[in-house]
Amino acid sequence: MKKKSGKIVSLLLTAVMVLTLGAGCGGQGGGSEDAKEIKMGTILPLSGSQAPLGKIGQQARDMAIEEINAAGGIESMGGAKIKMVYADSKGDPATGVSEAERLITQEEVALITGCYQSGVAMPSTEVAERYQIPYFVDVPSEDQITERGFKYIFRLAEKTSWRNRAQTEFITSMAQKYNTPVKTVGLIYENTAWGQGAVRAWEKYLPEAGLEIVMKEPYPANSSDLTPVVLKAKKLNPDIIMMVSYVSDAALLTKTFAEHQVKPLAFIGTSGGFADPTYYDLAGDASENFFDISTWEPDVNRPNSQEINKRFQEKYGYAMNAEAVKAYAGMYVIKDALEKAGSTEPDKLREAFVATDLQSGPAQMYASQTKFDETGQMINAPLVICQYQKVNGKMERVTVWPEKEARVGSQIVWPYPGAGN
Amino acid sequence: MGFLSVVANGLSMGAIYGLIALGLTLIFGIMRIINFAQGALLMLSMMVSYWLWAATGINPYILVIIVGPIMFAVGYICERCLIKPVLDEQKDVREPVAVLLLTAALAIVLENAALMVFGADYVMAKTSFSTSTIALGPVTVSAARFYGLIIALLAAGIFYLFLHRTQVGCNIRATGQDRNAAALMGIDVPKTYAIAFGIGTALLSVAAVVLIPFYYVHPSVGAVFMTKAFIVVVLGGLGSIPGAVLGGVIIGLIESIGAQYMAATLTAMLVYLVFLLVLFVKPTGIFGSPYDW
């Protein structure tokens, strides 16, 4: 009996607190005086097969929030602290939608961040747009997300097709720098939506740069033998070979290229299998001098990058990855917007994001300048090229391009010297 | 000269497909057990070979001396404890479907057990000849695959002699043709079944040691080769050893040469097209006996 009445009292108290908060917001139009806590929501896959990916995103956010709150919170709002409410999407679009709805209507968050998968981002951003609540997309990269004319969606990540654009820029700049004319490109890709999407982007950007696609070779994922494809590439002899592969096929391709001594100017992977930690265990020395594209690497030469990664490692026991960096940097972009808005009112917050031009602080580990275009897309989302190189006898991913972000003291190997050289 | 390399690769890869199918030729072609666990058993052989190689570092081909008996035991026990009781129940059924379902279930159990024990990471044995090639005149062929070709032909030859020249081999063939007649002739049918299944599984260990120097090992690796193995067995003619080798080589050549003139994804279609054509012209397969069914 006693317990029950205690429960009722606490329920009543909660109700009173919620009501007074609501009244404060309504009366003050933003409640900049009373809001000692800014409630935000994050949608991540926290259970299911993608749970480890969601977890590192949560840890990165928590670390940034702890830092921001410890440093005095949001000054323009009287030192208000950030409070993050995490919602589990299970990696499922339908769950993502209902969680977005719940965060907005029941948790009454000022802003939503998330959500790892593009498949979840597409429908859940629609919910936020409908309620006119800002949605900060940190990781999903599907082109469409910022191409739907939405007003409350801001994306920190690059568009998928930008990776292919950056690869093209890399080729052009290398051709000039090392005076090795590049005319032809061969594309080898797994025959999936991912591979075909990359090919569509390459078909746009490569010809624009004056490069001719002489080989376009799809293969079935998890092939038993990729020698036929490799021999075809050897015969057609393109100047550059670009690949989209998951790790098993990536390793098989790499080894078979080495076996048959195929020697273009460069092999360039498109993340995925080439970024997998088991890739060089499988491919061994054959992976030496292969290029891959990414947005952040532990060795990248950006302000604060090494220090923050080290702090993260001490706190959680493992290094950050590109997704964690985007989640972490994103929190500082949000902090910057809140400082400028001085309010949690959606429209003021939106205005602040539109006016964002962040060129200092911890977000530097991701990009030197954070600025959104009229579609809410981050302008010039950073991309780097890394190369598998032997450092002190151990194979490492060495960031080599662009020059100002390359690992200090690193050197690009261009053109490809051939396997074992 | 590039074309000859393409043919050489097709030949060696095809012979390896044939080698993978040899065990199935015995189990499915002769003993008429539709064994869906063959792919999973290949995966198990590869896992065992890989971990033995990783532990000892000796030439994987020599490891067959250890892996072969292990896999024979696995096959023998599988037959005795799992397949035999079900077969006995369906003694009078010409096509024992329950066994088919049993082997499918065994495949799922083996794959998930491997996932639990070995994890989902891809591994590959990095031997001294893993990325080297052999130049035969103007033709370059991957060393690991070329050794595979030789081992496949050797294994097929020895297996052929075993089936045709030894008492056990004759028992197996007789049991495959007619279980009851074989029993009446004094053959220990249950034991012959178990031995046949054991040998069919042990043959996978030969394929496994050939594969691990150039192909990755993963709990789902069996699926990559299993459909091909069934096609090879039917294409070459049920129970025919030369048929299995030839069937494998045909598929290898189609994949290798076909990919030079079309997208690699289309060669899979071409394989099935040729398969259909052969079955249309000769329903028993290339070397299949018309009296067999």
Asked if residue A318 is part of any domain, the answer here is: yes
Asked if residue B291 is part of any domain, the answer here is: no
A-B Cβ pairs (cutoff 8 Å, strict): 98
pLDDT digits 0-9 by tens, B8-52: 999 999 999 999 999 999 999 888 888 999 999 999 999 999 999
Q: CA-based angle B173:B179:B184, to the nearest 5?
A: 105
Is residue A231 pLDDT above 50, yes or no?
yes
A269 and A396 housed in the same domain: yes
Helix H or strand E encompassing B141 = strand B139-142
Asked if residue A135 is part of any domain, the answer here is: yes
The alpha carbon torsion through B20, B25, B28, B32 (nearest 10 deg) reads -170
Q: Which two tokens stand for residue B197?
A: 């299944």
Percent of chain B topping pLDDT 90: 69
Is A278–B214 a contact, with Cβ atoms under 8 angstroms apart? no
Give the closest of B10, B216, B267 to A251, CB-based: B216
Asked if residue B9 is part of any domain, the answer here is: no
Closest CA to B30 of B290, B288, B231: B288
Q: Which two tokens stand for residue A322?
A: 């590109």
Asked if residue A377 is part of any domain, the answer here is: no
Query: Amino acid identity, residue B27?
Result: I
Name every residue in A having a CB less than 8 A away from some CB of B. Answer: 191, 217-220, 222-229, 231-232, 234-235, 247-248, 251-252, 255-256, 258-261, 278, 281-282, 284-286, 419
Q: What per-residue confidence (pLDDT) applies to A203?
A: 95
Is residue A31 pLDDT above 70, yes or no?
no
B216 to chain A, any CB pair closer than 8 A? The answer is: yes
Q: Which two tokens stand for residue A166?
A: 């950056």
Q: Which residues of B touch A256 (CB under 8 A)?
A: 142
Q: What per-residue confidence (pLDDT) applies to B95?
A: 67
Paired sense of beta strands A81-88 and A153-155, if any: unpaired
Residue of B nearest to A225 (CA): B13
Is B131–A419 a contact, with Cβ atoms under 8 angstroms apart? yes
Question: In the 8-state DSSP scheme, what is residue B290?
Answer: T
Q: What per-residue confidence (pLDDT) applies to A86?
A: 96
Average pLDDT over residues B248-272: 92
CB atoms within 10 A of CB A349: 25
pLDDT digits 0-9 by tens, A34-70: 458 999 999 999 987 778 888 999 999 999 999 999 9
Asked if residue A350 is part of any domain, the answer here is: yes
- Integer CA distances (angstroms), B277 to A282, A407, B290, in order: 39, 58, 17
d(CA A219, CA A189): 6
Which residues have CB under 8 Å from B15's CB, separation 6+?
Answer: B148, B149, B152, B153, B245, B248, B249, B252
Q: Which two tokens stand for residue A160?
A: 């998928």
A212 and A351 housed in the same domain: no
Max mean pLDDT among A124-128, B30-34, B114-118, B133-137 falls in A124-128
d(CA A332, CA B105): 52
Q: What per-residue confidence (pLDDT) applies to B31?
A: 87
Q: What per-residue confidence (pLDDT) applies to A381?
A: 87
Chain B closest CA to A259's CA: distance in Å? 5
How large is the C-alpha radius of gyration of chain A?
24
A235 and A208 housed in the same domain: yes
Q: How far apart are the first and last CA of chain A?
A: 81
Chain B closest CA to A227's CA: distance in Å? 7
A286 and A309 housed in the same domain: no
Q: Which two tokens stand for residue A233?
A: 């590439």
User: Which residues does residue A112 pair with via DSSP β-bridges, in sequence order?
Assistant: A41, A135
B2 to chain A, any CB pair closer than 8 A? The answer is: yes
Asked if residue B141 is part of any domain, the answer here is: yes
Q: Which residues of B touch A220 (CB under 8 A)?
A: 264-265, 268
d(CA A259, CA A349): 57
Is residue A306 pLDDT above 70, yes or no?
yes
Give the closest of B13, B131, B267 to A227, CB-based: B13
User: Which residues does residue A87 pair with via DSSP β-bridges, in sequence order?
Assistant: A43
Q: What per-residue confidence (pLDDT) applies to A11?
A: 56
Residue of A nearest to B259 (CA): A228
A72 and A210 housed in the same domain: no
Give the closest of B121, B131, B264 to A286, CB-based: B131
Is B264–A228 a contact, with Cβ atoms under 8 angstroms apart? yes
B122 to chain A, any CB pair closer than 8 A? The answer is: yes
Is A248–B140 a contact, with Cβ atoms under 8 angstroms apart? no
Asked if residue B3 is part of any domain, the answer here is: no
Asked if residue B72 is part of any domain, the answer here is: yes
Is B260–A248 a contact, with Cβ atoms under 8 angstroms apart? no
Is residue A301 pLDDT above 60, yes or no?
yes
Chain A closest CA to B137's CA: distance in Å? 15
Percent of chain A topping pLDDT 70: 91
Average pLDDT over residues A255-260: 91
Is residue A194 pLDDT above 90, yes or no?
no
d(CA A74, CA A343): 10
d(CA A317, CA A76): 35
A101 and A127 housed in the same domain: yes
Is residue A413 pLDDT above 50, yes or no?
yes
Q: Which two tokens stand for residue A26?
A: 């309504």
Q: What per-residue confidence (pLDDT) applies to B123?
A: 87
Asked if residue A21 is part of any domain, the answer here is: no
A123 and A112 housed in the same domain: yes
Using CB atoms within 10 A of its CB, is residue A28 exposed (0-12), middle (13-18) or buried (19+)?
middle
Q: Which residues of A touch B260 (CB under 8 A)?
A: 228, 231-232, 235
Residue of B nearest to A281 (CA): B123
Is residue A368 pLDDT above 70, yes or no?
yes
Asked if residue A91 is part of any domain, the answer here is: yes
- Which sign does the torsion angle of CA A186, A190, A196, A198 carry? negative
Average pLDDT over residues A342-371: 94
How many domains would you assign to chain B?
Answer: 1
Helix H or strand E encompassing B4 = helix B2-24
Asked if residue B92 is part of any domain, the answer here is: yes
Asked if residue A277 is part of any domain, the answer here is: yes
Closest CA to A378 of A179, A202, A158: A158
Q: What per-residue confidence (pLDDT) applies to A5?
A: 56
Is residue A33 pLDDT above 70, yes or no?
no
d(CA A396, CA A280): 9
Paired sense of beta strands A394-401 and A384-391, if any: antiparallel
Q: What per-residue confidence (pLDDT) applies to A106?
A: 95
What residues of chain B, 241 to 270, have a C-beta less than 8 Å from chain A? 252, 255-260, 263-265, 267-268
B133 to chain A, any CB pair closer than 8 A? The answer is: yes
Is residue A23 pLDDT above 50, yes or no?
no
Asked if residue B119 is part of any domain, the answer here is: yes
Is B133–A247 a contact, with Cβ atoms under 8 angstroms apart? no
User: Half-sphere exposure of A142 toward its Cβ, with a 13 Å CA cutoff?
Assistant: 15
Is B263–A281 a contact, with Cβ atoms under 8 angstroms apart? no
pLDDT digits 0-9 by tens, B80-124: 999 999 888 887 776 678 888 999 999 999 999 998 888 777 888
Residues spanned by the domain of B158 = 32-227
Average pLDDT over residues A326-340: 95
pLDDT band at A26 (very low <50, low <70, confident <90, very high): very low
Average pLDDT over residues A300-325: 92
How many domains would you assign to chain A?
Answer: 2
Q: Which two tokens stand for residue A259?
A: 């076996």
Is B216–A282 a contact, with Cβ atoms under 8 angstroms apart? yes
pLDDT digits 0-9 by tens, A258-280: 988 899 999 999 988 898 888 88
d(CA A332, CA A179): 41
pLDDT band at B292 (very low <50, low <70, confident <90, very high): low
pLDDT band at B138 (very low <50, low <70, confident <90, very high): confident
Is A251–B263 a contact, with Cβ atoms under 8 angstroms apart? no
Q: What per-residue confidence (pLDDT) applies to A271?
A: 87
Task: Please give the backbone phi and psi of residue B41, each rounded to the nearest 5 degrees, phi first.
Answer: -70, -35
A153 and A165 housed in the same domain: no
pLDDT digits 0-9 by tens, A349-360: 999 999 999 999
A279 and A327 housed in the same domain: no
Is residue A379 pLDDT above 90, yes or no?
yes
pLDDT digits 0-9 by tens, B219-241: 889 989 999 999 999 999 988 99
Chain B closest CA to A214's CA: distance in Å? 13
Average pLDDT of chain A to the nearest whole number: 89
Give the closest of B13, B121, B131 to A255, CB-based: B131
The alpha carbon torsion through A10, A14, A20, A24 (nearest 10 deg) reads 150
How large is the C-alpha radius of gyration of chain B?
19
d(CA A118, CA A124): 10
Average pLDDT over residues A278-284: 87
The alpha carbon torsion through B26, B31, B36, B37 (nearest 10 deg) reads -70
Asked if residue B62 is part of any domain, the answer here is: yes
Is residue A28 pLDDT above 80, yes or no?
no
Asked if residue A82 is part of any domain, the answer here is: yes
A316 and A194 housed in the same domain: no
pTM, 2 dp: 0.82
The domain that holds A81 is classified in CATH as 3.40.50.2300
Average pLDDT of chain B to the nearest whole number: 91
A202 and A285 housed in the same domain: yes
Q: Which two tokens stand for residue A153?
A: 């969606």
d(CA B239, CA B21): 11
A130 and A178 housed in the same domain: no
Question: In the 8-state DSSP scheme, what is residue A374?
Answer: T
d(CA A16, CA B109): 57
CB-based contact A219:A188 (threshold 8 Å):
yes
Query: Amino acid identity, residue B99?
Result: V
pLDDT band at B177 (very low <50, low <70, confident <90, very high): confident
B121 to chain A, any CB pair closer than 8 A? The answer is: yes
Residue of B nearest to A231 (CA): B6
CB-based contact B214:B151 (threshold 8 Å):
no
What residues of chain B, 174 to 213, have a C-beta less than 8 Å from chain A? none
B134 to chain A, any CB pair closer than 8 A? The answer is: no
Chain B closest CA to A248's CA: distance in Å? 7
**How much of chain A is helix, strand and coil, in % rounded to 5?**
45, 20, 35
Q: What per-residue confidence (pLDDT) applies to B3?
A: 87
Paired sense of beta strands B133-136 and A384-391, if any: unpaired
B24 to chain A, any CB pair closer than 8 A? The answer is: no
Residues spanned by the domain of A93 = 35-158+303-365
Average pLDDT over residues B200-212: 95
Closest CA to A128 of A157, A142, A107, A143: A107
CB-based contact A119:A131 (threshold 8 Å):
no
B146 to chain A, any CB pair closer than 8 A? The answer is: no
Tokens 């030496």 belong to A288
Give the closest of B142, B259, B260 to A259, CB-based: B142
Interface confidence: ipTM more than 0.90: no
